[in-house]
């Protein structure tokens, strides 16, 4: 019997030794991993076209946190609590538990946690900033003294990464994407949201952030920061290992800090409806996300474990100096709106923010427009959504 799994390429590569070991130990149950594209949106396109084509060849799909409600609403996923029980998430860090259940069902079991972090240059300052405001001041000061070309790079291309960056700033300013307590109402024209948007645009206008950020995704920001051209970078945990590689211009000169609520970007397994052997698929899912597997992935690839026990493990901490930062970051993460309409909401927001950071319009006008369009989208869903 074979359970087939679609994953983005890096995860398929990282889990390959584990899967090989599993397949050696189990004669009657084999795991077949399909190596999907690197890029998140390309993987989503691939998964969706394979689902639209019908008779999907996969039992399990490794999904980004924002896809779950959309896939569930489309009727593509199997609820997991009948297979895994109601306590499948018990023992995970609070920040990693978010975003797996929707509409009264559990749809997803997280494999690894991911959240926005701030990377800083230990050779340019003595201590990391304690807030985003302080970061901006330090960055501006370093630029003024001509110590570094750019102050702060982040993901400003018109794509999902921009929404992630904005959400962190928004939380820092005390704002919310959807109104707390009523997730059918957007809250993007609040004074806090306007201030957050204005702050991001101000970074570009003042030159702390290069104007090129408007076409920068994770990889380009890593390229700029990795070349030693910036004092700070906002990125995910993976960047740390990349920056330590031989040949990196900043190896050994990088620190990481979590300022406020990082956007939650975890990856997890969902089961596709129509899987021929759900029991076995559930067992595979459990095994992938078990503590021993998580420990192995953490030790060899630095993947952030979701289990509290591993986050607190002193042995693991020796091998992963980043672990305390990650544990602290996972105390509180910022979740993007859990709705099947998330892609539209994020698209509307990206559009306005992209306009703003490329210098057109005011934060007030941009956020008012984002609010108006988000309201239209959420209204279409009706009260039942």
Partner 1 sequence: MTLLLLLPALALVLGVFLWPLLRYGWLSLQASSVLTGLVPMPNGGANWQRLLADARFWQDAAQTLRFAGLSLALELLLGLGLALLLHRPLPRRGLVRALVLLPWALPTTVMALGWRWILNDPFGPLNGLLQSLGLPAYGFLSQPASTWLFTVLADVWKTTPFVALLLLAGLQAIPSELEEALRLEGAGPWQRLRRLTLPLLAPYLLLTALFRLAQALGVFDLIQVLTGGGPASSTESLALYAYLNAMRFLDFGYAATLMLGMFALVLGLSALVLLTQALRRRLAEVTP
Partner 2 sequence: MPIALPLLAALIWSLLPLLWQLLTSLRTPEALVLQGPAAWLQGWTLANYRQVLQGDPPFWRYLFNSCLVGAASTGLTLLLAIPAAYGLQRQRPALRGGISLLLLAAAMFPYVLLFLALLELARALGWGNQLLALALPYAGLSLPLAVLLLRAAFADLPAELEDAARLEGLNLWQRLHRVLLPLLAPAVASTAILVFLFSWNEYPIALTWISRNDMLTLPVAMARIAGSSVYAVPYGAFAAATVLGGLPLLALVLVFQRQIVSGLTQGAVKG
CB of 217 to partner 2, least distance (A): 3
Q: Which is nearer to partner 2, 10 or 255 (CB)?
A: 10
Name which of partner 1, partner 2, none residue 100 binds, using a CB cut-off of 5 to 8 Å depending on partner kind: none
Alpha helices in the chain (DSSP H): 9-25, 40-52, 68-73, 81-84, 94-97, 132-144, 160-172, 191-205, 218-226, 238-244, 278-289, 291-301, 308-311, 314-319, 323-329, 342-357, 363-381
**Strand 333-334 vs strand 262-263: parallel, antiparallel, or unpaired?**
parallel
Residue count of the chain, please give it. 385
**Over the range 207-242, which residues count as b (16 or more CB within 10 Å of their CB) and which as e?**
ebbbeebbebbbebbbebbbebebbbbbbbbbbbee
Q: Which is nearer to partner 2, 175 or 226 (CB)?
A: 226
Q: Which is nearer to partner 2, 138 or 221 (CB)?
A: 221
With CB under 8 A as the contact rule, the residue among 70, 108, 121, 157 that binds partner 2 is 157
CB of 355 to partner 1, least distance (A): 4
Beta-bridge partners for 31 = 3
**What is the rounded CA–CA span in Å between residue 44 and residue 50?**
10
Proportion of the chain in helix, strand, coil states, percent, rounded to 5: 50, 15, 35
Token couple for 75? 């009727």
The CB-side HSE value for 253 (13 A sphere, CA atoms) comes to 17
Name which of partner 1, partner 2, none residue 252 binds, using a CB cut-off of 5 to 8 Å depending on partner kind: none
Token couple for 166? 């904005």
| CA 312-316-320 angle, 5° bins | 105
Stretch that binds partner 2, among 40-48, 69-77, 119-127, 167-175 (CB under 8 A): 40-48
Q: Which is nearer to partner 1, 157 or 327 (CB)?
A: 157
Report if residue 274 touches partner 2, rule: CB under 8 A. Answer: no
CB of 48 to partner 2, least distance (A): 9
Report if residue 23 touches partner 2, rule: CB under 8 A. Answer: no
Nearest CA to 340 out of 377, 368, 303 is that of: 377
Chain positions 187 to 206 lying near partner 2, rule: CB under 8 A, are: none
Report if residue 37 touches partner 2, rule: CB under 8 A. Answer: yes
Residues that bind partner 1 (CB under 8 A): 41, 44-45, 48-49, 70, 73-75, 156-159, 210-215, 220, 223-224, 227, 229, 340-341, 343-344, 347, 350-351, 354-355, 358-360, 380-382, 385
x/- site string to partner 2, residues 207 to 236, per CB under 8 A? ----------xxxx-xx--xx--------x
Q: Which is nearer to partner 1, 2 or 45 (CB)?
A: 45
CB of 286 to partner 2, least distance (A): 26
Report if residue 127 touches partner 2, rule: CB under 8 A. Answer: no
Residues near partner 2 (CB under 8 A): 10, 34-42, 45-47, 49-50, 52-55, 57, 157, 159, 161, 217-220, 222-223, 226-227, 236, 238, 242, 247-249
């Amino acid at each position: 019997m074979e359970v087939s799994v679609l994953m983005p390429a890096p995860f398929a590569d990282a889990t390959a030794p584990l899967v090989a070991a599993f397949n050696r130990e189990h004669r009657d149950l084999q795991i077949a991993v399909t190596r999907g594209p690197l890029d998140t949106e390309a993987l989503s396109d691939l998964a969706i076209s394979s689902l639209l084509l019908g008779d999907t060849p996969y039992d399990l799909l490794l999904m980004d946190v924002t896809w779950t409600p959309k896939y569930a609403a489309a009727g593509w996923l199997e609820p997991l609590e009948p297979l895994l029980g109601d306590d499948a998430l018990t023992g995970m860090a609070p920040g990693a538990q978010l975003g797996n259940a929707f509409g009264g069902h559990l749809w997803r079991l997280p494999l690894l946690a991911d959240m926005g972090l701030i990377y800083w240059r230990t050779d340019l300052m003595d201590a990391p900033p304690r807030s985003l405001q302080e970061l901006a001041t330090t960055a501006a000061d370093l630029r003024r003294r001509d110590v570094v070309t750019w102050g702060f790079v982040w993901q400003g291309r018109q794509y999902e990464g921009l929404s992630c960056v904005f959400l962190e700033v928004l939380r820092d300013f005390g704002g919310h994407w959807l109104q707390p307590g009523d997730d059918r109402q957007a809250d993007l024209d609040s004074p806090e949201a306007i201030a957050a948007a204005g702050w991001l645009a101000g970074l570009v206008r003042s030159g702390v952030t290069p104007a090129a950020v408007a076409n920068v995704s994770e990889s380009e920001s890593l390229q700029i920061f990795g070349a030693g051209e910036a004092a700070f970078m906002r990125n995910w945990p993976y960047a740390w290992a990349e920056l330590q590689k031989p040949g990196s211009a900043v190896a050994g000169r990088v620190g990481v800090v979590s300022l406020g609520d990082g956007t939650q970007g975890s990856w997890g397994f969902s089961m596709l409806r129509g899987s021929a052997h759900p029991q076995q698929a559930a067992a595979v899912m459990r095994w992938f996300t078990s503590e021993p597997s998580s420990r192995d992935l953490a030790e060899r690839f630095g993947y952030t474990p979701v289990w509290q026990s591993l986050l607190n493990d002193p042995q693991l901490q020796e091998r992963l100096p980043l672990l305390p930062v990650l544990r602290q970051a996972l105390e509180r993460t910022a979740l993007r709106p859990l709705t099947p309409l998330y892609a539209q909401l994020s698209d509307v927001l990206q559009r306005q923010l992209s306009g703003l950071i490329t210098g057109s319009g005011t934060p007030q006008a941009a956020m008012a427009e984002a609010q108006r369009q988000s309201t239209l989208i959420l209204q279409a869903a009706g009260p039942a959504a």
